[in-house]
Structure 1
């Protein structure tokens, strides 16, 4: 394998932990609790999707991990890029509804040494606050050699369950 084909990258692990007090315009009308899931991405072409929380209602817990690779060239080309976290409500006979979104500046995540837990305000598609999302973030650069690991060589995002052979 040529070293010229390998690129240096920052490897990040994002743990989509939970949310509190999520609101949906239809949640007051239904007697069933909301079922929600999260979608995380840096590149909209490569999205990672969490499991569906079926019991938490307005306070879901996912505890799903995603691995993202951000190479130096990407950082230079797009200095104000964000990790986007979207929360969707499962709907039975219609398309799932986006109930909230969070944008986290990549520059802030890349500065993390070790692990950090953070909370962000979830906003609905019109920009109004609709709850809080909790994530854990860690940079994994010390765990790998300087070059990008083979399992991430063609991906920007990967679901942790797939890395473990369960997805």
Structure 2
């Protein structure tokens, strides 16, 4: 499957694609022990550990943070194949003073999803897959969910983003001149409920999310083993 012509104009090496990941929100996080102020969480995401991107801290505070921040990653098309082990890793940290500084804040937990599990090569360009990933605490126990969206995009949403990508394989769209609104991906966190929109063509949450018990919560984060199917127009 060839990359869209728009990507060629960005000067991307042959075989590279643009992956957009939206860190939407998290639910049911457990604050680190010893935290004396209201939890203000932020997320750090990467495909390549050498190029990490951070969200701003959630200003409202509490165990259900919302960020709605979009990241762009340049990835090899082979990383998107079903049998690929390439993944997006997200770590969530507690920021007691309302500002992030990696290395000094307490790790709440981490989440990881394989790029090949979401059939991105089979989806129309710009059509995000939305899903929830279990947040694994440092102890190894899953506690809470991270809501994310991922899609391949034909081109960066603004000249500023395109310029930034020419210098780095990972770019945050926060602070850059906006060209694409993200209000359609906004999903306010609902205490005790779970956003579980799996591989939907439109970024719209279900009308009535299920309320999960702790046992059902762990069952809901099992990996998606459904095989991808190429769309009729794909090559």
- The interval holding the TM-score normalised by the smaller chain is 0.7 to 0.9
Alignment check: 8 A CA contact 2:89 2:113 kept: yes
Question: Higher relative contact order by CA 8 Å / sep ≥ 6: 1 or 2?
Answer: 1
1:6 positional shift: 4.4
Is contact 1:20-1:132 (8 Å) kept? Answer: yes
Q: Is 1:36 matched with 2:41?
A: yes
Q: Is the 8 A contact 1:34 1:54 kept in 2?
A: no
Change (3 A) 1:34 1:79: same
Match of 2:72 among 67, 72, 87: 67
Distance 1:73 1:120 in 2: 23
Per mean C-alpha deviation after superposition, the further-off stretch among 17-26 and 78-87 is 78-87
- Within a 5 Å distance, the mapping from 1:1-167 to structure 2 comes to 6-8=12-14, 9-26=16-33, 30=36, 32-72=37-77, 79-92=84-97, 95-109=104-118, 110-111=120-121, 113=123, 114-141=127-154, 143=155, 151-164=164-177
Provide TM-score, normalisation by structure 2: 0.57
Q: Would you identify which runs of 4 or more consecutive aligned residues in structure 1 move more than 6 Å?
A: 73-76
Judge conservation of contact 1:15–1:63 (CA < 8 Å) in 2: yes
Secondary structure of the structure 2 residue equivalent to 1:161: coil
Q: What is the CA-CA distance between 1:91 and the residue it aligns to?
A: 3.5
Query: CA shift at 1:18, angstroms?
Result: 0.5
Unaligned stretches of 5+ residues in structure 1? none
Deviation at 1:75, TM superposition (A): 6.5
Shift, 1:138, TM fit: 1.6
C-alpha distance in 1, partners of 2:84/2:137? 25
CA displacement at 1:127 relative to structure 2: 1.4
> Counterparts of 1:160 and 1:19 in 2: how far apart (Å)?
20
Q: Could you give the per-residue CA deviations for residues 55-87 of structure 1, whole angstroms, max 9, x where no partner exists?
A: 2310000111101110247669x9312100110
Give the RMSD, CA atoms, in angstroms: 2.7
**How far 1:150 sits from its partner (Å)?**
5.4
CA gap of 1:133–1:69, structure 2 versus 1, over 3 A, is: same
